[in-house]
Structure 1
Amino acid sequence: MTKDLVFCPECRKKTEHEIKIVKTEYTIKDKKYMFDITTAYCKNCGEEIEIPGLLDLQTKEIDDQYRQMEDIVTIKDIEKLMNLYDIGKAPLSLALGFGEITITRYLKGQVPSKEYSDIVKSALKSPKYMIDKLNENKDKIGETAYQKAIKCAKKLNDMFNVSSKLLSTISYIFEETIELTPLALQKILYFIQGIYMTLYDIPLFKEDCYAWVHGPVYENVYNLFKEFKYNPIDDNRFIILKNRFEVLSNEEKDIINLVLNSFGNYSGKVLEQITHKETPWVESRKGYSLLERSNILITKEQIKTYFKAVHKVYGIDTLEGVNHYINNQININ
């Protein structure tokens, strides 16, 4: 919308205008609603006026607020569903049990019924639900579309073998970082767990890690991202976690941010080298050669004991203390 002069029918000339948010009543399907609508007024006479782009904005405001009030999925929700399962409009319509062009109509702005909206929401929330729908309507959607979608759905479903707290932690890490490899993610999670247990005496997440060749590894997390190998993780699957799992507390986010702002500045290989100098990994790897595979548990007690000792020397509740520790570890031959 422009702030240029616009024509006011009352003043019969171009005038300045101001924007206000006004509560306005509309009736939709015989039900009355109050919407917060952006409205323009002439600064000279105070009458409501039209300005370029305002009608489109008001239409969008009504649509967005109506969907929120009635708990109806948005166009973005449907686009998200298509991206999550790598499925087109027509195959998605058929997979969900709709008519072939139903999703196309929704993407053009038609508001779904509550029944159909709930089906879309269920597919967004539950990969298992989507797997069942795909299998139920496999013959309708075609083999190619089915295989692509079922592969994505099964990968998403695998995520739910990981605790909600760990998934929330990973999701938050993705929100706060630009680029992260699977190797770096594993070490970041390990340091988050270590520092959190040091300061709060309890684990942030329940999963155990193991002493693998390249340092501490959370096996379920490894399975989630092994397809990326040594490349940065680019994974839109974590869209499904938004507003689904419990929100991390401020204390939990503080620890994650502390680790990201310190350990997160280094590559996965550097972080690996640091863990190779730390007691939990070293003790668990006793008796193994450098490149020999092992799956020995690194207990949470081992991790907590080690990092509590580190905390006494460096004060790893502060960025300065953590960076001092990192610099010392990197400089050890």
Structure 2
Amino acid sequence: MAGRRRTFCMECRKETAYALHKTLITKTIREKEYQFLITTAYCKECGCEVGVKGILDYNAKEIDEQFRKAEGIISTDEIEKLGKIYNLGKAPLSMALGFGEVTITRYLAGQIPSKEYSDIMRAALSNTKVMRELLESNRDKLADAAYRKAVSAIEELDALFSVPSKMLMVISYVFEQLGEVTPLALQKILYFVQGLYFSKYEIPLFDDNCQAWVHGPVYAEIYDMFSSFRYDPIDDPRFELLKGKSTNLNEKEREVINLVVNTFGIYGGKVLEKITHRENPWIDAREGYLENEPSQEEISKEAIKDYFVSVRTKYDLNTESGIMDYIHNMLDQA
């Protein structure tokens, strides 16, 4: 549908320019009525709907995605990630889940799973314990090589996600809100979440301690988890396992994370690094170190608390505008 956006209009009897719009349609699927927003093309000259190459396939994809969302059905992308996460091909994955040998192949070709089978796949996608139980239940259906590969993948995943659960909840929620984030930016966002939560409630949101590295405050375990991405956005099917872990965050915790995401979160990692380099917790912990000299000096939670409590006396940290005032002031000094 991309390109010069011209097509033949049956009403005008000539090639004309067209525009794309969203149209609400009603369809009945399995004796149940649904409403879908699909993309339609209209002639710019007469306003009539026109046909565009590829639009019917695109509409089918739109309807499929919206239907699955409405019914809570797993997507084909998620099913693909399930196989990648546990290092299993289509047939072995089907057998490991307790399905027929060609079931996953059919699902990846577009067949919509039942809610029961969808829930099984979703559970395995979000919890390695569930997948391990399924593997053991269906052990006799799997070749030894496939079984060992899946067990090895589970062990690697469990090691990767061995950080405290509260930190994983916060990371999961940040991913949900931002969609895309680099390891550097994530580190600073976690630090600011801790700082703002401290300033408001005078207790830490999570117990993890950060260190004063050259590029600002860093949570070492989180660095290890995402180090392979360096300065690139975090994108790996394994991190699908983080989805949904944020559900146990309470309203107070979500409120503070939202404030940070909507303010600090609009900046890149290097900008956030500059801000932390103007703040006392990092500066004091780096005392005696050269500018680019590595260190693993701990930034105490007490230092973070004291600093952000003092910031709250000057800025309204309960509002996005107050936080933005603080950010602008720190960047002006950088």
TM-score interval, normalised by the smaller of the two chains = 0.5 to 0.7
Q: 1:199-247 deviations in whole A, cap 9, x for unaligned?
A: x23457232416688786546535644x649776745233343455248
**Is contact 1:92-1:103 (8 Å) kept?**
yes
Normalized against structure 1, the TM-score is what? Answer: 0.67
CA–CA distance in structure 1, aligned partners of residues 152 and 242 of structure 2: 21
Aligned to 2:205: 205
2:269 aligned to which of 256, 264, 276: 264
Question: 1:23 is matched by which residue type in structure 2?
Answer: I
Question: 2:269 is matched by which residue type in structure 1?
Answer: G
Aligned to 1:298: 300
Aligned to 2:195: 194
Normalized against structure 2, the TM-score is what? Answer: 0.66
Give the CA deviation at 1:195: 3.6
2:259 aligned to which of 254, 261, 279: 254
Aligned to 2:64: 63
**Is contact 1:106-1:112 (8 Å) kept?**
yes
Q: 1:268 to 1:32 in 2, by over 3 A?
A: closer
Question: 1:36 is matched by which residue type in structure 2?
Answer: F
Q: Answer with 1 or 2: which has the greater Rg.
A: 1
Give the CA deviation at 1:267: 8.8
Give the CA deviation at 1:26: 3.0
Give the CA deviation at 1:120: 0.8
CA–CA distance in structure 2, aligned partners of residues 49 and 65 of structure 1: 23
**Is contact 1:210-1:216 (8 Å) kept?**
yes
Question: 2:115 is matched by which residue type in structure 1?
Answer: K
**Is contact 1:75-1:107 (8 Å) kept?**
yes
CA–CA distance in structure 1, aligned partners of residues 257 and 153 of structure 2: 35
Gaps of 5+ in 2: none
After superposition, the CA RMSD in angstroms is 4.9
**Is contact 1:6-1:51 (8 Å) kept?**
no
Q: 1:33 to 1:261 in 2, by over 3 A?
A: closer
CA–CA distance in structure 2, aligned partners of residues 15 and 326 of structure 1: 53
1:18-37 aligned at under 5 Å gives the runs 21=23, 23-28=25-30, 31-36=31-36
Question: 2:258 is matched by which residue type in structure 1?
Answer: K
Give the length in aligned residue pairs: 311
Aligned to 1:103: 104
Aligned to 2:165: 161
**Is contact 2:211-2:217 (8 Å) kept?**
yes
1:114-125 aligned at under 5 Å gives the runs 114-125=115-126
Aligned to 2:310: 309
Question: 1:241 is matched by which residue type in structure 2?
Answer: L
CA–CA distance in structure 2, aligned partners of residues 3 and 263 of structure 1: 39
**Percent sequence identity over aligned pairs:** 33
Aligned partner of residue 23 in structure 2, secondary structure = strand
**Is contact 1:23-1:35 (8 Å) kept?**
yes
Q: Does 1:79 align with 2:80?
A: yes
Q: 1:171-212 deviations in whole A, cap 9, x for unaligned?
A: 3687453x435xx754552343224422x2345723241668
Question: 2:7 is matched by which residue type in structure 1?
Answer: D
Q: 1:10-45 deviations in whole A, cap 9, x for unaligned?
A: x9x6697997735344353xx243343757799999
1:150 aligned to which of 154, 158, 175: 154
Q: Does 1:4 align with 2:16?
A: no
Give the CA deviation at 1:71: 2.7
Q: 1:263 to 1:271 in 2, by over 3 A?
A: farther
Question: 1:167 is matched by which residue type in structure 2?
Answer: I
Gaps of 5+ in 1: none
- Bigger shift: 308-317 or 43-52? 43-52
